[in-house]
């Protein structure tokens, strides 16, 4: 199993000046670096790819979906901007040597409302239309797009893996898979191992290994043994990535409600998390 770490553990927004993090991640025992793509214009994708290759690291790309990047928005200009950002993410992923662009691509993080059924259907339709148009773009680039369910406090659109499956099936393109995050699934799903088995290797495209408090994996109450067994049963061969967040950043605090340190240091969170996941899954 390939073990990865998201750059949000250390910094936001990630930029070319932060590429030294890749050597640190390798030294800590990670196989994959996941780049949080807040602003592609401040990251040299070619240099990222070279440094990742030099360190023997795989690369995945995680999107950042603020209010201006919402393909289900009432505002047509915002929908277009969201679609342009996903297209940009696909292009950046290809240039950086990643085969994945993933995240809550369907809406803006923090968009939580009680709306009418007709409005919900319209937002869903806008989302489907844009994702259908983007499917050939991703296919031509050799990029898989992960659809990540978020918990009810961060979105009102897709909270369950089966809702993500419904979206993928309606879009009807094989480039779309489900991106499962244990932090969100711990809130919304009855059983994370059962969800993994239901998705199977054909539908599970990416996996975030997050503790229930977004702290160091292995220090909380997530059913890691059950998750490991389920991932093995379905033959999942993608990355298992720690996603946590550096405290004190205004944008991160707003998006993920990180109000306090989650470990004595971010390096400790990453290092101990890597050790735990390595011991869980084996070398």
φ/ψ of 207, rounded to 5, equals: -145, 125
Residue 283: the pLDDT is 64
225 has a pLDDT exceeding 80: yes
Residue among 148, 154, 189, 211 flagged as catalytic: 148
Decide yes or no: CATH 3.20.20.150 for domain 2-281. yes
Residue 205, both tokens: 């495209």
Could you report how far apart the first and last alpha carbons of the chain are, in Å? Answer: 7
**What count of Cα atoms within 13 Å lies in the side-chain half-sphere of residue 207?**
26
Residue 142: the pLDDT is 98
**Average pLDDT of span 141-163:** 98
Verify whether residue 123 is a known catalytic residue: no
Residue among 38, 154, 211, 243 flagged as catalytic: 243
pTM as predicted: 0.97
DSSP single-letter state for residue 263: S
Peptide bond into 13 cis (omega under 30): yes
Domain ranges of the chain: 2-281
How crowded is residue 259: how many other Cβ atoms within 10 Å of its Cβ? 8
The Cα–Cα gap between 172 and 99 comes to 19
Verify whether residue 251 is a known catalytic residue: no
258 has a pLDDT exceeding 90: no
């Amino acid at each position: 199993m390939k073990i990865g770490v998201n750059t949000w553990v250390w910094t936001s927004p990630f930029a070319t000046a932060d590429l030294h993090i890749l050597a640190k991640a390798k030294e800590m025992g990670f196989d994959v670096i996941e780049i949080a793509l807040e602003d592609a214009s401040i990251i040299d994708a070619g240099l990222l790819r070279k440094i990742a290759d030099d360190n023997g690291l795989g690369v995945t790309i995680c999107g950042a979906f603020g209010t201006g990047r919402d393909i289900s928005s009432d505002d047509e200009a915002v929908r277009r901007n969201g679609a342009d950002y996903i297209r940009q993410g696909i292009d950046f992923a290809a240039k950086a040597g990643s085969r994945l662009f993933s995240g809550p691509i369907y809406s803006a993080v923090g968009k939580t409302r009680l709306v009418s059924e007709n409005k919900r259907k319209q937002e869903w339709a806008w989302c489907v239309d844009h994702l259908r148009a983007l499917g050939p773009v991703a296919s031509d680039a050799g990029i898989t797009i992960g659809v990540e369910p978020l918990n009810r406090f961060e979105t009102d659109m897709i909270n369950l893996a089966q809702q993500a499956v419904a979206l993928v099936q309606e879009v009807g393109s094989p480039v779309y898979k489900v991106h499962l995050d244990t932090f969100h699934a711990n809130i919304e799903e009855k059983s994370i191992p059962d969800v993994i088995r239901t998705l199977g290797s054909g539908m599970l495209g990416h996996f975030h290994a997050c503790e229930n408090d977004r702290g160091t994996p292995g220090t909380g109450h997530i059913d890691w043994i059950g998750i490991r067994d389920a991932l093995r049963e379905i033959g999942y061969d993608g990355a298992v990535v720690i996603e946590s967040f550096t405290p004190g950043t205004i944008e991160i605090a707003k998006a993920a409600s990180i109000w306090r340190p989650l470990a004595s240091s971010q390096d400790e969170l990453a290092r101990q998390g890597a050790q735990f996941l390595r011991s869980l899954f084996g070398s």
